Chain A
Amino acid sequence: MRNIIKKKVGELQINPRIKEVLLQVLGPDEDVYVESTGKGVRIIL
Chain B
Amino acid sequence: MIVVRSGSVENLIWQVRSLLPQIETTPILLAQRQVGNYLIGLGTLGYIYEALSSVLETLVEAQRMAKDLGLRDYSVVIGPTESYLTTMPIPEVMPPLPQPKPVPPLPREEVRLNTFNCSDLTRGLVKFCVDNVEIAYYLSR
What's the minimum C-beta distance from B129 to chain A, rounded to whole angstroms?
A: 8
Interface pair B136/A44, CB less than 8 Å apart: yes
- Complex Cα gap A41–B127 (Å): 12
- Give the number of A-B contacts (CB < 8 Å): 36
Partner of B137, one of A22, A40, A41, A45: A45
Interface of B is mostly: strand
B125: nearest chain-A partner, CB-CB? A44
Q: Find residues 9-29 in chain A having any chain B CB closer than 8 Å to their own CB.
A: 14-15, 17-18, 22
Q: How large is the interface on B (under 10, 10 to 19, 20 to 34, 35 or more residues)?
A: 10 to 19
A37: nearest chain-B partner, CB-CB? B134
With contact pairs A39-B119, A44-B125 given, residues A14 and B133 touching in the complex (Cβ less than 8 Å):
yes
Which residues of chain A come closer than 8 Å to B135, judged between CB atoms? 18, 22, 43, 45
- Complex Cα gap A42–B138 (Å): 12
Which residues of chain A come closer than 8 Å to B134, judged between CB atoms? 37, 40-43
Give the A interface residue count (CB, 8 A): 13
Query: Which residues of chain B have a CB within 8 Å of any CB of chain A?
Result: 119, 122, 125, 127, 129-138
Q: List 20 A-B contacts (CB under 8 A).
A: A14-B133, A15-B131, A15-B133, A17-B130, A18-B135, A37-B134, A40-B131, A40-B132, A40-B134, A42-B122, A42-B127, A42-B134, A43-B133, A43-B134, A43-B135, A44-B125, A44-B136, A44-B137, A45-B136, A45-B137
